[in-house]
Structure 1
């Protein structure tokens, strides 16, 4: 009977399957996390666009539905100040689009904020005790991190280079996510900002495994059993999967975003900073092609979104995603179209079937 070659993550997080649903801010839902958890994986709740009260509500809903482990994810970037001069320069670059759509360049529309981990979020962790707490963009201050660890939570964070993985282990992570350049959404980089040198999953993963003692979770470009088997073959103890879950009915994905995902090709995404000010992988659209993908004029995270907000609103009202961040990894075309729970089970079964065939071929 096939079995997982490495069960350290299952034992560490008390889960049946070594499959983690990526915490995708704006797209993941509590229903998705619950479905994944009930199927035996690790469901994740992204907090970056939630208030502490909203996160509390989501965790209570999760706890009502299942006693399974849950992962709560936080951003831990250093908050930037919105520089009026930079904002004016950014709007000047966007001016041809404002003229095209008949929009006043000075118009202000609200855009989604991304709040870093702080005392208020810690209070939610202390009260509701999620089994796993994950971070993006490094780790919070050692004082906050120690308080989180005191609740008994296991700590994980994303690394996009070996140096970042070693740093995370040295600063207290119980496991490290090796986030390859194929992954959709915001890059987890924090020691480097050189996007030209970002490493693919299958190169990054074995080097991280060799460099750290803690279990390693593979992320980026994994959407089926073959990818899971490849990750385990290179030393992973689990996989984190994001884009494949965007096709599930539990995902909070707009019609525009879903259509883009359905029609994407392998070369249809790019790492860009033009939507939020931080590099993130998304579907190529008009804005990326014409001024990106990486613009030196984009304001600091998350303020680039402010200048785009009126353009995005105008385009989306006309059914266009030309100015919308359509996050996606590079393996969207491999993604099954299944409900989150069934997807989790099928991914595991597919991987175990491959393991069985490999074992049989060596006998």
Structure 2
């Protein structure tokens, strides 16, 4: 690691009150306060994936986090999509397919609506996390101004250079480079383009670093000290890790999901629209594979999310991987089943040992 890279990583850590430039990825439903607090207390940054959270839940999460940690945290929101185009016949076909994997799906299940973004944003401002992070687009100028007035930094996720430049121009304090290895939803600004923008992190990262003046945070497939060191060598100021923390006791994942992560080969994950209508990478479960082979087209977001809600809930209740929304990145097999802070320190120590 050359001097400039050391300075870049150290400068990022100082700016955001970190002991190391390694962040927890905000994973909706998989970032409980105990996980975030354990990592923040160990020198990282906590994270809340608030895509479906009610405004009051954002404030409650931050209050519980502050009771457990004096460290920083980010709250992640989705920029809203345009209203979906509904297709009653296609939805009926999907409901019939889903009935093979869970409870019968009523027609009204597709009436799901996205969260009230403006109300969520107001709640975020009131909760005052260290960082507001976004996915699926950029904030409006008035929203950026409100963040700056509140002393809240903004991290924007990007999957292409064009998206990253848009985020920088809009006032982002840092850009998260999301490689196609990453688990969970793709951050593509245009949902229709997500399938065409599956660029690997080690191609995307230097492309962004070479053209942006703001720090770039590397995300996707990083799960140990080797990945951290490699990302920093390629110009990242920090890394963001999600899947590799999912088997820690603090994550409290359903055992069916956690157990499969331990044996999942990189090719055992796949991009799918089958859970929400938005493209995301998860374990290639029996449901994911069957849907891909069926020719049945998922409904757009958030209609598909509503249609699959009963199936997903039943799978969690029964601890069954079949219909579970089991997001996972391509390095899932590396996820350790030990305390999060212990893994974090081991990775960072290893990364430093690998660097000149």
Quick check: TM above 0.5?
yes
The yes-or-no answer on 1:218 pairing with 2:211 is no
SS of equivalent to 1:281: strand
Cα 1:126–1:317 shift into 2, 3 Å: closer
2:92 equivalent in structure 1: 91
Q: Deviation of residue 159 (structure 1)?
A: 0.6
Q: Deviation of residue 113 (structure 1)?
A: 6.8
2:172 equivalent in structure 1: 173
Superposition pairs of residues 51-200 of structure 1, within 5 angstroms? 51-78=54-81, 80-81=83-84, 83=86, 85-86=87-88, 88-96=89-97, 98=99, 100=100, 104-106=104-106, 115=115, 117-118=117-118, 120-191=119-190, 193-200=193-200
SS of equivalent to 1:193: helix
The yes-or-no answer on 1:227 pairing with 2:230 is no
Cα 1:111–1:261 shift into 2, 3 Å: farther
The yes-or-no answer on 1:23 pairing with 2:26 is yes
Q: Deviation of residue 45 (structure 1)?
A: 1.6
In structure 1, distance between residues paired with 2:117 and 2:295:
27
Cα 1:105–1:185 shift into 2, 3 Å: closer
SS of equivalent to 2:177: strand
SS of equivalent to 2:307: helix
Cα 1:45–1:319 shift into 2, 3 Å: closer
In structure 1, distance between residues paired with 2:113 and 2:246:
21
8 Å contact 1:272–1:294 — kept in the other structure? no
Q: Using structure 2 for the length normalisation, give the TM-score.
A: 0.90
8 Å contact 1:28–1:252 — kept in the other structure? no
Q: Residues 173-229 of structure 1, C-alpha deviation per residue, up to 9 Å, x if partnerless? A: 011111000000000110461414410001100010001011110000000000001
In structure 1, distance between residues paired with 2:183 and 2:295:
19
- Pairs aligned (count): 352
Q: Residues 56-81 of structure 1, C-alpha deviation per residue, up to 9 Å, x if partnerless? A: 11111222233222211111123635
In structure 2, distance between residues paired with 1:44 and 1:211:
27
More displaced, 6-15 or 324-333? 6-15
8 Å contact 1:75–1:116 — kept in the other structure? no
Q: Deviation of residue 171 (structure 1)?
A: 0.7
8 Å contact 1:134–1:155 — kept in the other structure? yes
The yes-or-no answer on 1:290 pairing with 2:273 is no
In structure 1, distance between residues paired with 2:279 and 2:294:
8
More displaced, 276-285 or 56-65? 56-65
In structure 2, distance between residues paired with 1:110 and 1:299:
9
Cα 1:168–1:92 shift into 2, 3 Å: same
SS of equivalent to 1:344: helix
In structure 2, distance between residues paired with 1:301 and 1:102:
20
8 Å contact 2:179–2:204 — kept in the other structure? yes
Q: Using structure 1 for the length normalisation, give the TM-score.
A: 0.88
1:34 equivalent in structure 2: 37
8 Å contact 2:58–2:127 — kept in the other structure? no
In structure 2, distance between residues paired with 1:178 and 1:25:
19
- Segments of structure 1 that go 5 or more residues without pairing to the other structure are none
In structure 2, distance between residues paired with 1:147 and 1:252:
35
In structure 2, distance between residues paired with 1:95 and 1:303:
15
Cα 1:171–1:90 shift into 2, 3 Å: same
The yes-or-no answer on 1:266 pairing with 2:269 is no
More displaced, 255-264 or 28-37? 255-264
In structure 2, distance between residues paired with 1:102 and 1:20:
36
- Segments of structure 2 that go 5 or more residues without pairing to the other structure are none
Cα 1:340–1:113 shift into 2, 3 Å: farther
SS of equivalent to 1:211: coil
Q: Deviation of residue 29 (structure 1)?
A: 0.8
2:343 equivalent in structure 1: 343
In structure 2, distance between residues paired with 1:290 and 1:227:
33
Cα 1:293–1:250 shift into 2, 3 Å: farther
8 Å contact 2:254–2:316 — kept in the other structure? no
Q: Deviation of residue 161 (structure 1)?
A: 0.7
Q: Residues 143-185 of structure 1, C-alpha deviation per residue, up to 9 Å, x if partnerless? A: 2222122111111111101111111111100111110000000
The yes-or-no answer on 1:47 pairing with 2:50 is yes
